[in-house]
Amino acid sequence: MRQSRERLTASFAMILVCLAAGHPAAAGQNSWTTLNSPGATFGATAIAVHPADANIIYAARRYQSGSSITAHIVRTSNGGTSWDMVFTTPSSPTSAIEVNDIVIDPMAPTTVYASASGTDGGGAAIYRSTNDGASWTLKNFGVIAAASGLAVDPANAGTVYARTSNGIYKSTNSGDSWALVDSGSTYSLAIDPANGNVIAGTATGVRRSTNGGSSWTDVSLGLTISALAFQDSTGIVYAAGRLEGGVFRSVDGGANWTNLGSRFIGPAYNTFYGPIGIASLVVGSGPQPPLMAAVATCGMYKSLDGGATFSDANAGLTVLSPDSHCYNSAAAHVAHSPAAPADFFADMFTPPLVSKYTLDASVLAPECLLSANPTTVGQGGSTVLAAYCSPAATSYAWSPNTGLSPSAPGGSVSPTQGTSTYTVQGVNANGSSGVQSVTVFAPGPRPVNLSSRAQVLTGNDVMIAGFVIGAGSGNKTVAIVATGPSLSQYGIANPLANPTLTLKRSADQAVIASNDNWQTAGNAAQLQAAGLAPSDPLEAAILVSLPPGAYTAIVQGTSGGTGVGVVGVYEVDAPAIPLINVSTRARVLTGDDVLIGGFVIDAIAPLTVAVVATGPSLASYGISNPLANPRLTLVRSSDQAIIASNDDWQTHPNAPQLQTAGFAPSNPLEAGIYITLDPGAYTAIVSGVGGGTGAAVIGVYKVN
């Protein structure tokens, strides 16, 4: 059933069609051709095609003469060769200037309904013709809001529904009177031809009634449903909204739904008009009927595989300036008649009024989309390539670096370090698609998930962690976590009872975020989903997306509390953007209260790092009581083996390399280790020589 237009957002007021490259088609075949419709200054606003005779078409248009704007309905009985004006909206009682929808009663096709509204959207104007449009009667008694969509019940004679800003109205006497059956906001409407059940699109999914509107059941689909379409009387119904939300299909009349994960071969976003969605959807005829969708700001799309893949159907439309992705002919509605199984009809936003598309998939070469999941992989990882083609490809021309067979529509590949680009062309008897490509990034070895444990005191002796997000395109999401009370289960005496966490940007010391108890964070659910939420509700955490740069995380106790705490900085996404140069400053005491830093090398090959412990040089930065002589011990976490240690950095065998790399401490009493490490987890321990105590900084730095 053809769906009435709904503007998903204000930007959808003009439903524009985006350019997508395709193979040339013969006139009228797999291309939009103009029907010989009369001119209109604003183009068409509604369309309906006779269910038994596709030569009979009704179209609504807006016409302006001077300051006067009127709405007309025109009709053709010869497939668009000639048109007759059959209706002009009156100046009263509604001052209607736009016909929102036209529907034909499939049980009595001489009966036609139209809804109209004025400039302010007000004025409930529903008209009915019982003589093929020759005359019209106002039939809106009981409707108190403008109708933006109509639907005729194919299973129950004389039953009509009107979707309005006030809710859904129902008439059981062909529009002579109406009653409100649902007061919720809806965005689309469809009637099951098999049994008259009603489905309406809502802001979060669909609302369904199996008893003529007496009661309703809501089904959440997670997005606003702006288009609904039944596949004849099969019980199969499609629901769609924004493309990123997916196209849904139900095979039981709307009781249960499956997200098809539909792929749209063409732009997913239009840079000039913003995010896009399906504004109108219709199911064709036949045992495997095609689907045709009008996608707001991004084109006409057809599906030949039950909604799994939608490919370009924009041939015959012209480019709109200034945005080369758009067309100046755009469909507000798409319509179909079982009498012409291969034909689809659309009303154009700008003149010409009506266009026709004749689908012949047997002559089409594939159009393809190539995806990789994931697009960023860890060291030694793999990604899965998948080519989606419509019409289906019989073979695939893969780039040699995939190693995939021509018969395979996809498969697993292992990218080399850095950036890898893969390509494919789908091939069938009619030709091949354009070259489709996807890029996968495999970052080199790097330190990730860095944490430090120390005594958290007061004043300058709180714990301070510094980290740097390396250069890259876009932001990187990290989780910064401060734990305290949960440490007692690991035998830590005197844990910090209630840690607080403050994140600052180092460049200007601006506070970016802060948290006391992690469950109070606005994105606590996302933190938990990432598996990085602390185990104790009194512990603190910040989940934040940060641009490249240096940052400082400060851990202190609530109300001046003191005790052992752990601060960790953990990578959540964007491994292509490295987390580098992590350091922590805290008070080094004795026993369990030394400063301990942990880090993980994520790699398949060894990585060279510099681990540095500073103390006496901190005095020059105003730090009182710095650790006079730090000792540094590096332990492999898997077996607790000591793999390196140092007291004074100049005594380290790799002291020249440490100095050349730029990580040598400024004081000879400070400690440094320059070492190449295998992938895995490590712990660096800072203590004072001779049991000394004081403020120290431990840093772990990637050596390029």
Task: Give CA torsion, residues 148, 154, 158, 160, to 10 deg.
Answer: -20
Q: Cα angle at 142 between 138 and 147, to 5 degrees?
A: 65
Whether the CB-CB separation of 88 and 71 falls below 8 Å is answered with yes
Q: Calculate the CA 316 to chain-centre distance.
A: 30
Beta bridge partners of 68: 65
CA distance 153 to 28: 32
3-state SS of 657-686 is HHHHCCCCCCCCCCEEEEEEECCEEEEEEE
Copy the structure tokens of residue 553.
């995380």
Copy the structure tokens of residue 12.
């959808």
What pLDDT was estimated at residue 352?
A: 60
Specify the 3-state DSSP secondary structure of 390. Answer: strand
Look up tokens 């002589």; give the residue.
Answer: 629
Distances (CA, A) of 428 to 306, 407, 431, 583: 20, 12, 6, 58
CA distance 210 to 366: 41
What pLDDT was estimated at residue 65?
A: 67
3-state SS of 361-380 is HHHCCCEEEEEEECCECCCC
What pLDDT was estimated at residue 470?
A: 78
Name the pairing type of β-strands 309-312 and 263-264. parallel
Copy the structure tokens of residue 419.
């950036």
CA 582, 584, 590, 596 torsion: positive or negative? Answer: negative
**pLDDT beneath 50: ranges in the chain:** 1-27, 93-94, 119-122, 267-275, 319-329
Tell which residue, 542, 609, 606, 546, has the closest CA to residue 580.
609
HSE at residue 401, side-chain half, CA atoms within 13 A, is 12
Q: Is 604 exposed, middle or buried (0-12, 13-18, 19+ CB in 10 A)?
A: middle
Tell which residue, 359, 339, 243, 341, has the closest CA to residue 286.
341
Copy the structure tokens of residue 289.
């009927």
CA distance 185 to 401: 52
What pLDDT was estimated at residue 158?
A: 93
CA distance 251 to 258: 9
pTM: 0.65
CA distance 359 to 672: 72
What pLDDT was estimated at residue 323?
A: 44
Name the pairing type of β-strands 410-413 and 395-398. unpaired
Whether the CB-CB separation of 645 and 631 falls below 8 Å is answered with yes
CA 288, 294, 295, 301 torsion: positive or negative? Answer: positive
> What structural domains and CATH numbers belong to the chain?
10-363 (2.130.10.10), 367-442 (2.60.40.10), 446-702 (2.60.120.380)
Beta bridge partners of 169: 162, 180
Copy the structure tokens of residue 601.
């090398």
CA distance 552 to 557: 17
